[in-house]
Structure 1
Amino acid sequence: MGHAVEKHAGTPATTVFGSAALRGASTVVPAARQQLSEAALAAMAKGVPAATARGYLGDWARFEQWALAVSLRPLPATGETLTEYVTWCTLTPRPRTGRPYKPASIDRALASIAVAHQAAGLPQPSQTGARLVLRGYEAELKTAKDPRGKTRKAAAATPRVLRQMIAATDTTTVIGARNAAALTTGFALAARSSEGALLDWEDAVDAADEEGLLFDLYRPKVANDQPLGVPYGSYASTCPVRALRAYRQALLDHGHQPTGPMFVRIDRHGRINPPMFRNGQRIGDPSGRMTAEGIADIVTRAGLAVRPGDVLPDGAPRWTGHALRRGYAEATRHAKKDPLEAARHGGWADGSRAFAGHHDRAAVFDEELNPLYGIGL
């Protein structure tokens, strides 16, 4: 194969995932260097958001399997090894899709490999060659108009779309009241689905002078716990304060005391926290708390109810749980809100490229920024 990289010699560079919790965090430690106790490893694992950890774990497992199969050392890896791996990813069809990896998946894999080295206390391998291969692959896909060359982004659930979503929701039912509250609250907080799932009723209190609600929102991805003010909305149908209070009253009317998890499971018959079983075993949070996937599904169903044809070329739905965050970002740009304060309210880091991308996209027809306006075209 002609790899100018370090081969396995003698004892393989075995990687140890430690405890079960450590496996979940995808923290990789060479056996010879492992100095921490199981308790310390498990505690360290808790510092990685669950969704991120699952992605890292899968990425690392694929890289490690490939490296061992071609007799290369996964940890510590060399820059040449990364270049060979990225080349393999761009050429080898995946069993599930029959096509090579998308650029975004390869980019995340490189990040996961870097995190594994950092967690092991090892220097990160050079990504120069790997990034050149990835850049060329991306350009090739874009030139060929291959959908894999485009980053899949959620549609923007702007206030106008949000009003359409609510109009298509039967808010006279308890499940409809819940969905309307989840949509409007998610937009007002620019909440990720995982953050919405963490909300408790105790996290929302009446603000002074009846201005609205004061939320105490924890954002695990950025380890940020911030108070957020949500005022009354201009439209009654999409006002997050009114929607949440209507949902609370609907729960009370159905004999459910609104304490603990804010968004709870409700079946199509209006039963709150119905029992769920798998193979005869009770599953689901005993308190009825919805999962992040359940929150995202509310957004997806609402989006498809009003925009059924809005899909990407490869058929993947645009309407994901992220649509509310993107809609919020675009709406703040249209309203000419301060981008720094808008980003901070939504839990984006200062200088976030993701927020800037959503924000800038909303300005393509801004007469003050688009140079084609007013030039006599």
Structure 2
Amino acid sequence: MHDDTSTEQASAAIERTGPRPELHEQWAQRHGVAAADRLAAAEDFADAVQAEITPPNTVGTYEKSWRVWERFCSTQGFPVTEGTRGALVAFTAWLLHEGRQTPGPGGVLGYAPASAGVHLTGAVVGLRQRGHQVTKDDSAAAREALDGLTVKLLKAGERRGRGKAPAADTDGLRRIAASTPNTLAGLRDKSLVLLSFNVAGRASEPAGLLLGDVTLQKQGMRVSILTGKTKWSVRQPAIPYAKDPDVCPVLAWTAWREALLAIDERYADPADPAFHAIDRWGHVGGAMSPDAVTDAIARVAERAGVPLRWTGHSLRSGLASEGRNAGKDSVAIARQGGWAPNSRSMLGYMQTSDDWTDNAASGLL
């Protein structure tokens, strides 16, 4: 039985629902305005939960992608509220051929396929968040168009984007460990690289660590990573002592923290950042940002003469590929690095090793 509510009250209730007036009106017709208000409030609560559990960098990416979608709709004369099959496929083609505002490498105006895929996802998410329907079939059609157009680009000899970050290897780690100076910044860099490799850390993960997140134990140390992006990446990997003390992450961590503590006892506070920014004069600052972590890894790798330019992601992919080389189980690798057990990205890193160690052509001639 519907609640007895005036037209004015119903109109006011619909205005309160933000991007869902049509849904609220349907609910009101089916169940009454009071029930529709409660359903709308539940939707608002679900939105708030989603916002709370979505990483800030993901939110920023979606916002950027929505602005790209708005720019596309403006140039094509499309309404921003309609994520139809045709509009999304056209958006995909536009992204690949002319979507950038400034030319990329080689003067290309189109996005790299990976970036186009991110913007496509962001546009679909943005449309749905704003109460506009996008069916799975329409979204899948756009994704299929992206895959097909990417193949055409590859056949035409166009390879856009930076490609995968080169994976770190144990030889590079030894070079870095040997080349880091015995200074406060050098001790930090050595510990940062070795810890990040051993936990397959994204740049954001060592940047978010606190002193209290790292605990020394008899067998080594355990790291509580609480800034992960997924339920898998929030983890507590154990890092054992290395056989070679020169590349031991536990000894490197201890040396770095002891040097810091010798400067000021306040660095013993469990809430202290695990890795501090240090300027060229040796002054200690606050926590390193993810970009600072990436810059530090690239800098020390270059200084060590590592042949390929490492990025923050090189250490993450390196743990998977080197672990595979050493015969480690994929479940153990996933647990250490915070991947889902059948993660496509992890399996891709491991395939780099399998291409040589489990090669179908190996030994045939």
What is the TM-score when the length of structure 2 is the normalising length? 0.81
Match of residue 261, structure 1, among 252, 273, 289? 273
> Is 1:154 equivalent to 2:165 in the alignment?
yes
The structure-2 alpha-carbon separation of the partners of 1:163 and 1:346, relative to structure 1 and needing over 3 Å to count, comes to: same
Structure-2 residue corresponding to 1:58:
64
- Give distance in 1, aligned partners of 2:144 and 2:234: 38
Which residue identity does 2:186 align to in structure 1? G
Say which SS state the counterpart of residue 221 (structure 2) adopts.
strand
- Give distance in 2, aligned partners of 1:341 and 1:297: 29
Which residue identity does 1:250 align to in structure 2? A
Match of residue 298, structure 1, among 296, 299, 314? 296
Match of residue 250, structure 2, among 238, 241, 244? 241
The structure-2 alpha-carbon separation of the partners of 1:266 and 1:349, relative to structure 1 and needing over 3 Å to count, comes to: same
- Give distance in 2, aligned partners of 1:122 and 1:191: 37
> Is 1:351 equivalent to 2:360 in the alignment?
no
Structure-2 residue corresponding to 1:276:
none
The root-mean-square deviation of aligned C-alpha atoms, in Å, is 2.5
TM superposition shift of 1:120: 4.4
Structure-2 residue corresponding to 1:111:
121
> Is 1:211 equivalent to 2:200 in the alignment?
no
The 5 Å alignment of 1:1-377 reads 30=19, 32=21, 35=40, 44-92=50-98, 94-97=100-103, 98-99=107-108, 100-120=110-130, 123-125=133-135, 126-148=138-160, 152-170=163-181, 172-207=182-217, 210-223=218-231, 224-255=233-264, 257-259=267-269, 260-273=272-285, 288-307=286-305, 310=308, 318-366=309-357, 369-375=358-364, 377=365
Say which SS state the counterpart of residue 225 (structure 2) adopts.
strand
TM superposition shift of 1:321: 0.4
Structure-1 residue corresponding to 2:5:
none
Higher helix share: 2
TM superposition shift of 1:40: 7.3
Q: For this pair of structures, how many residues does the alignment match?
A: 322
Which residue identity does 2:117 align to in structure 1? D
- Give distance in 2, aligned partners of 1:141 and 1:78: 25
Q: Structure 1 runs of 4+ off > 4 angstroms?
A: 33-43, 120-123
Q: Which deviations, in whole Å up to 9, do the C-alpha atoms of 1:60-80 show, x marking residues without a partner? A: 111023224433233341111
Any conservation in 1 of the 2:234–2:338 contact (CA below 8 Å)?
no
- Give distance in 2, aligned partners of 1:79 and 1:154: 34
Which residue identity does 1:161 align to in structure 2? G
Tell which deviates more after alignment, 150-159 or 45-54: 150-159
Unaligned runs of 5+ residues in structure 1 are 1-28, 274-287, 311-317
Unaligned runs of 5+ residues in structure 2 are 1-17, 25-39
Q: Which deviations, in whole Å up to 9, do the C-alpha atoms of 1:111-157 show, x marking residues without a partner? A: 11232244346543313442343223212221233231x66111111
The structure-2 alpha-carbon separation of the partners of 1:167 and 1:217, relative to structure 1 and needing over 3 Å to count, comes to: same
Say which SS state the counterpart of residue 213 (structure 1) adopts.
strand
Any conservation in 2 of the 1:333–1:359 contact (CA below 8 Å)?
yes
Any conservation in 2 of the 1:30–1:75 contact (CA below 8 Å)?
no
- Give distance in 2, aligned partners of 1:38 and 1:373: 58
TM superposition shift of 1:248: 0.7
Which residue identity does 1:297 align to in structure 2? D
- Give distance in 2, aligned partners of 1:295 and 1:181: 12
- Give distance in 1, aligned partners of 2:282 and 2:298: 20
- Bigger radius of gyration among the two: 2
